Amino acid sequence: MLLTQPKTENTSLQYLQPSSETEGEISPNQMLAPLTARVNESDRLEIGGCDVTELLAQFGSPLYILDEYTLRTACRQYRDAFIRHYPGASQVIFASKAWSCLAVCAVIASEGLGFDVVSGGELYTTRQAGISADRIYFHGNNKSREELQYAYSEGCTIMVDNWLELEMLAEIATSETPIAIMVRLTPGIECHTHDYIRTGHLDSKFGFDPNQLPEVFTWIRDRPQLNFIGLHAHIGSQIFERQPHQDLGGVMVEWLQSAIAAGLQVKTLNIGGGLGIRYTEADDPPSIEEWVGAACRAVVKACDTHNLPYPKLMCEPGRSLVGSSCVTAYTVGSRKEIPDLRTYIAVDGGMSDNPRPITYQSVYRAVLANRMSAPLSETITVAGKHCESGDVLIKDAKLPQTRAGDVLVVLGTGAYNNSMASNYNRIARPAAAIVNEGEASLILERETYADLIRQDRLPQRLRES
């Protein structure tokens, strides 16, 4: 870490430190702040060599700030860990629902990763970013015929989720130009995470049940327009345990063996993603290296047990690639003190740029970027500006004495913040900037009031005379 001051437990500096358990190369998902975070001589937070307070003066507030170095480091750690731990071919795919925009796609693609998209819009974004179709995999539990036709015309691989999709694809594709498909299954593996982000248990809207496998395999085998290349499963998100993915590897190899026995040339397994990140000091996720190693060993062991050649092995991280690489900077506004109960400060954003606290009860950490070494003397609830009592970003945050105009930075906001942002209360979505080696570039323009009504239509009869 590039810190100019020693670690101090009672200041914001503590949030820039690796966990005490971290050894060797730092895994970005185990950090609260981006890898380049440091405190400059003015006692202000810098990311990517850029002063955060100055970035707000340049680009406005609130502002997403993406550290390119941290994002690239996570991509390389995933890619290189598979090379080290898996003797067969491998491919890391970014779950772009975490943050789909042209610049994020371009950075990740330049590191050799592929892309998981879940809508026609995400597919369009990746294609506009210059991503080749053979690196794009189209997910989703209710793809429309139009989306499937679009994906087929572009030449990407379809992750088939249900019978309706199989039937539509058989009608859309031709034997002269078959469509590459993978089949998603629910493995029935539980993991300890929020109910809304558990997708591997049997009671899930995603994927075929394993008992449907024989019928699915027979149905696909009889349709030459469907090029069945592999199997897919995903068991959830923000997972800290290693065992579920080790169990998943063994289960998926058994499915692979069943497909081969049914006469299908299946050569690819996608074990999904789900590795968690460190949002608070209490979080203790495995490193990228540890997660990849455990998953690879499970697949290798199962293949050796069943005397099967090693399939191409894929995974699709999202949060653990981009989550820790971004922060959101706000400007502090009003303050409300309720004696013997709570003190609120309000910032110029909230649930429209970060809906995760109100949706998932997610917990974050924050720092005052303009006074990093100030003691954490207050317990504050950080509220947003929306007309909603539940618009609270952080309850009981430990912060210095705050005042209007301070720059408050919420850490770990790269995943599912911009991508789930809304215009609730007709609040414009923030801008985003990417920083690297002292340079900052805008990657998302701030919405204007005009943008908010751009799609509105006012019938003539409703206009004032």
Q: Which of 356, 355, 359 is nearest to 429 (CA)?
A: 355
Beta-carbon count within 10 A of 203 CB: 7
Which amino acid is it at 299?
Answer: V
- How many angstroms separate the first and last alpha carbons of the chain? 65
* Catalytic one of 105, 315, 326, 387: 387
Strands 45-47 vs 38-39: parallel, antiparallel or unpaired: antiparallel
Per the annotation, the verdict on 105 as an active-site residue is no
Helix axes 102-110, 68-85, angle to 10 degrees: 40
Q: Measured between alpha carbons, how far is 371 from 399 in angstroms, rounded to an integer?
A: 10
Per-residue DSSP letter, 415: S
Q: Measured between alpha carbons, how far is 86 from 387 in angstroms, rounded to an integer?
A: 51
Per-residue DSSP letter, 96: G
* 3-class state of residue 140 by DSSP: coil
Q: Measured between alpha carbons, how far is 219 from 227 in angstroms, rounded to an integer?
A: 12
Write out the two tokens for 361. 């009860």
The answer to whether 40 and 54 are in contact (CB under 8 A) is no
Number of residues that make up the chain: 465
Residues 350-389 as b or e (16 or more Cβ within 10 Å = b): bbbbbbbbbebebbbbbbbbbbbbbebeeebbbbbbbeee
The kind and range of the H/E element at 345 are strand 342-347
From residue 74, give the alpha-carbon distance in Å to each of 26, 68, 71, 280, 423.
10, 10, 5, 19, 31
Q: Measured between alpha carbons, how far is 72 from 87 in angstroms, rounded to an integer?
A: 24
287 backbone dihedrals φ, ψ, rounded to 5°? -75, 165
Spatial CB neighbours of 36, under 8 Å, sequence gap ≥ 6: 2, 46, 47, 48, 49, 67, 69, 70, 435
Which amino acids are annotated catalytic?
A: 387
